Homo-oligomer: A and B are copies of this chain.
Amino acid sequence: MTAVSPPCVILDAPQLGENIGAAARVMANFGLADLRLVRPRHGWPQERAWAAASGAHWPLNAARVFDRVEDAVADLQRVYAATARPRELRLPVLTPREAAAELAEAAGQGEATGLLFGGERAGLETADIALCQAVVTVPVDARFASLNLAQAVAVAAYEWRMTQAAAAPSKFRPGAPPADGAAMLGLYRHLERELEAAGFFHPPEKKPSMVQNLRSALGRAMLNDQEVRTFRGVVTALSRGRGRVLEKLARRADGEGEG
């Protein structure tokens, strides 16, 4: 078994300190340690989390708090969103087992990976799921689908652990690893800025869903850093091309004006 970095666990807007502590405990059970919290509802730190962790204090002690999901995933190259709800986004839907296999293979190649979980009531925002490369759906019984947050973490962490126990050699895949969340967000924003300038987002009320669809489609491509640069070059070329032609035309216009 090689020293592979386990996925980090990102809890978006968790409500109960008990659930954060229970999640930390089961992370420790299955060898995970990197816990990230996005806007915990009752602030941080919370005493109840430590009480519920039954001694698994290190993920809590080292937990980092973020304002936005995009900040929490900025350094990650592959993030899968745990969500039961059908979404309009077109992302691969994986079982926890399939997800763990993919994350383990990616981690084996040095990728920084993560699992994103929504809050107890609200779940995840579509805009945040759109930052992920796949959706993980625990195969719950439709007659009682309400899975406790820490139980969802347990199943995902258990499946991760099983991949490490089995320790199959990772398949060789040549090439650079996927870009991290910050690089992808940079590409998304660059593209969206230019599209905005070009009047692409109409009617304006549709912009959020258009943005999400573009992001999730591009996210599925698992671009590496070089490819992110290439695509930013594409956006720049198309928009700067506009600039160049404009310049040329402007010069001609000047000439005509002078003539």
**Residues in chain A within 8 A of chain B (CB atoms):** 22, 25-26, 28-31, 54-56, 86-87, 89-98, 137-141, 143-148, 150-151, 154-155, 158, 161-162, 165, 168-173, 175, 191, 194-195, 197-200, 210, 213-214, 217-218, 220-224, 227, 230-231, 233-235, 237-242, 244-246, 249-250, 252-253, 256-257, 259
Name the distance in Å between A197's Cβ and chain B's nearest Cβ.
Answer: 7
Q: Give the residues in chain B near A30, CB-CB below 8 Å.
A: 139-141
Contact A253 B249 (CB under 8 A): yes
Q: Give the residues in chain B near A161, CB-CB below 8 Å.
A: 139-141
Contacting residue for A90 out of B140, B151, B175, CB 8 A: B175
The 4 closest A-B pairs by CB, nearest first: A198-B241, A253-B253, A242-B242, A200-B237
Name the distance in Å between A251's Cβ and chain B's nearest Cβ.
Answer: 10
A143 to B32, CA, bound (A): 11
